[in-house]
């Protein structure tokens, strides 16, 4: 069972009436029952799915239906944050970008070692080693970013 969240019922009603729609027409356009639309308008509560369906039918972003247009902040971390072991979305961003900075720092260190060791050995060996490490860093950063994007889309 989904948890009900606060919704601006007056805004839903005003947007519906500005389009000269009845509650039945909004229900049809959003794929919801008439009773669900009535509940959203009168009780100012709706599940996340209902909020998204109403917003899509009304042509607005679902966050615009928050009371006083305040962003939703859940006390629970998102699925993406939990998978990465983060406490919340801010911690998730720090973990993902922090890893990328570590890889970039390691790559820069290898560049300095390569430049400093140019006369101490075969440049081909150093170039190969640097290419392997920096390629791995770029690949892992891209993979992490791709995973984060796909998980963020699943949370919505």
Q: What is the pLDDT of residues 56-104, one digit of tens each?
A: 888 888 788 887 644 444 555 566 666 666 666 666 676 667 667 777 7
Token readout for 114 is 């390569």
Q: What pLDDT score does 150 carry? A: 63
Residue, of 56 and 119, whose pLDDT is higher: 56
Residue 18 has pLDDT above 70, yes or no: yes
Task: Give the closest residue to 51 by CA, choosing from 42, 61, 43.
Answer: 61
State the fold for domain 5-69: 434 Repressor (Amino-terminal Domain) (1.10.260)
DSSP for residue 58: H
State the virtual CA torsion across 124, 125, 127, 131 in degrees, nearest 10: 130
Token readout for 16 is 């519906």
Token readout for 34 is 């008439």
Residue 30 has pLDDT above 70, yes or no: yes
């Amino acid at each position: 069972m989904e948890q009900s969240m606060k919704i601006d019922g007056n805004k839903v009603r005003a947007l519906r009436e500005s389009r000269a729609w009845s509650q039945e027409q909004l229900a049809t356009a959003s794929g919801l029952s008439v009773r669900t639309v009535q509940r959203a308008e009168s009780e100012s509560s709706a599940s996340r799915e209902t909020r998204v369906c109403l917003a899509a039918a009304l042509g607005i972003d679902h966050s615009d239906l928050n009371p006083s247009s305040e962003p939703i902040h859940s006390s629970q971390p998102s699925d993406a944050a939990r998978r990465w072991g983060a406490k919340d979305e801010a911690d998730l961003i720090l973990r993902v970008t922090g890893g990328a900075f570590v890889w970039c720092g390691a790559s820069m260190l290898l560049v300095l070692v390569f430049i400093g060791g140019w006369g101490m050995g075969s440049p081909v060996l150093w170039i190969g080693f640097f290419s392997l490490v920096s390629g791995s860093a770029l690949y892992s950063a891209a993979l992490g970013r791709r995973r984060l994007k796909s998980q963020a889309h699943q949370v919505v």
